[in-house]
Structure 1
Amino acid sequence: MQLVFATNNLNKLKEVQSLIPKNIKLLSLEDIGCFEDVPETQDTIEGNALQKAAYIKTHYGYDCFADDTGLEVDALDGAPGVYSARYAGEQRSSEDNIQKLLENLKDSSNRKAQFKTVIALELHGVQHQFTGICKGEITYGKSGENGFGYDPIFRAEGYQKTFAEIALDEKNRIGHRGKAVNQLVDFLNRI
């Protein structure tokens, strides 16, 4: 089986490639000649994932899957949510996003948050969705060098280290994207 993963984020591609079985050939957008920004104009995480997968199927003809991920913070009524990548502006700077989030939480003792990933699969003309959630909290400062995005300030429930302080295989085991990808793989193994 061959599937396109509709992302330009090389960090996501690396994470997902480590979870996909070898019998599934994973193609990147670059592999199929897609060098444009795939639209993400929906107001929900689910909507963005579905939009990206449908776009690749419609414009390039490949069976594919796309994900969208958001960090949902309780004290901020679920923000940044669907706007996580652009929280501090269209420049999509992880450092700027982290600083803005920490600033917005500086007076809050409620640090509860969750990462949510939705994967939309376009396969043989049918759409399927898989959702992974990892509950945790936002730390008071950055810690760790691994990962990307908000990983240096997110600590999963039951862990003392941030996502940026743990190894990729451990992050994939407990994290939101790993949970969603595992559901995708289970589904693909059943068909």
Structure 2
Amino acid sequence: MMIRIRTVDLEDTRDLLAIYAYYVKETAITFEYDVPSLAEFQERVRQISAFYPYLVAEEDGQILGYAYASAFHERAAYAWSAESAIYLAKDARGKGLGSLLYDRLEDCLKKMGILNLNACIATTGQEDTHLNNGSQKFHEARGFSLVGKFHQSGYKFDTWYDMIWMEKCLGNHQTPAIAVKSIHEVAEQ
């Protein structure tokens, strides 16, 4: 398996949306009910990748998954924190691809000066055909810690789901803080 991890291109969005559509229609991993239009999805990619890393994993020209970071919160005091997301093609799961994407994503974020990486994850305490808690286990294996839980806060497929926040510290919190740079600024160095 020769995987290439690269920065997203807007021409990738149709393939990315096809991967994401599975999660919207078949899982409670995202609480989105409807698959966004291609134009809406392209705008999401454009907005996020203007500042943060948005990475694609491909093999032989076929996109197998993607991962990105986005603003944790819009206020300036949160600039050193980011939220992560990852989606893999259904057939690409369980082969180490998620770790490859997250390794590169975390490396990019560290270069930018991001110190806290947060993940918002749906969970269930019971057997469920739409959610298996794999994301929580993946993040735990990557060194994320549970920092909060919201009970029955998401409703999808006639089921109430909990939502947890997990966090991983990527760097040292020093005073005064060093300004965060965009992914484009650090890529140029």
TM bucket (normalised to shorter chain) is: under 0.3
Q: Which structure ranks higher in relative contact order (CA pairs < 8 Å, sequence separation ≥ 6)?
A: 2
- Structure showing the higher strand proportion among its residues: 2
TM-score, with length taken from structure 2:
0.27
